[in-house]
């Protein structure tokens, strides 16, 4: 009789457009693991700030309000949810307004401390194991994660995925998307608190020339190998 695989905590980091969310959710579903989108939590607190009239470029004001919103993340990879003060925020947090403001809010140390604590508590309760995706999971949030994976891709590939454009279409939007991604990279990588970075012991996977299915299969293989070695 086969024994159940050992519970495993997997940190998947990387910049926008590398396939983190799609890969993480699919892998969690395939392996029966819980799932946490940490980026959604930063978007959620950013949305709350905007909705409540907090100047997102005033670090002191953001810090003072950081503890106020109640953020709850559902961890079912087939249907992840997020609420803010009991309100479904899954749609509102994906607006361009939030996208433009999230780096500024995320850079505030008190915000990162509050959200990091929330993320650690959720991961600690994941009895069947969890895939946690973000930008500083392997380096800051869960430095003792069983497996750390860092997804990368060329700026062009990332922009095409984010834009949902196909070859041959007008490239104006694609160029703007690429510029926005690189600007976000710079902001996330240069912030003083928990910058976007690859952990020293992370496995890097370049997704530029891989299909989503290939990336998923690669990550599943890495996790299964780690589970067998536990």
Q: Tens of pLDDT along 103-136?
A: 999 999 999 999 999 999 999 998 889 999 999 9
Residue 2 lies in a domain: no
Q: Tens of pLDDT along 21-37?
A: 999 999 999 999 999 99
Lowest mean pLDDT among 19-33, 81-95, 188-202: 188-202
What is the total count of domains within the chain? Answer: 1
Domain membership of residue 75 as a residue range: 9-229
CATH of the domain at 69: 3.40.50.300
pTM for the model: 0.88
Residue 4 lies in a domain: no
HEC profile for the chain?
CCCCCCCCEEEEECCCCCCHHHHHHHHHHHHCCEEEEHHHHHHHHHHHHHHCCCCCCCHHHHHHHCCCCCEEECCCCCCCCEEECCEECCCHHHCHHHHHHHHHHHCCHHHHHHHHHHHHHHHHCCCCCEEEEECCHHHHHCCCCCEEEEEECCHHHHHHHHHCCCCCCCCHHHHHHHHHHHHHHHHHHHCCCCCCCCCCCCEEEECCCCCHHHHHHHHHHHHHHHHHHC
């Amino acid at each position: 009789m086969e024994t159940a695989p050992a519970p495993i905590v997997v940190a998947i980091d990387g910049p926008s457009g590398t396939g983190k969310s799609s890969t993480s959710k699919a892998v969690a579903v395939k392996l029966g693991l819980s799932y946490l989108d940490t980026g959604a939590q930063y978007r959620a607190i950013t949305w709350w700030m905007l909705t409540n009239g907090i100047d997102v470029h005033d670090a002191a004001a953001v810090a003072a309000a950081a503890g106020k919103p109640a953020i709850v993340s559902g961890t079912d990879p087939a249907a992840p949810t997020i609420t803010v003060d009991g309100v479904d925020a899954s749609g509102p947090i994906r607006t361009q307004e939030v996208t433009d403001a999230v780096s500024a809010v995320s850079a505030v140390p008190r915000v990162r401390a509050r959200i990091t604590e929330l993320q650690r508590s959720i991961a600690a309760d994941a009895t069947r194991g969890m895939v946690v995706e973000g930008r500083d999971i392997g380096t800051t949030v869960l430095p003792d994660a069983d497996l750390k994976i860092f997804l990368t891709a060329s700026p062009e590939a990332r922009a095409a995925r984010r834009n949902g454009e196909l070859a041959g279409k007008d490239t104006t939007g694609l160029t703007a998307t690429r510029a926005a991604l690189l600007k976000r990279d710079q902001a996330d990588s240069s912030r003083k608190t928990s910058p976007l970075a690859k952990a020293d012991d992370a496995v890097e996977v370049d997704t530029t020339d891989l299909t989503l299915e290939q990336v998923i299969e690669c990550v599943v293989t890495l996790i299964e190998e780690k589970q067998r070695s536990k």
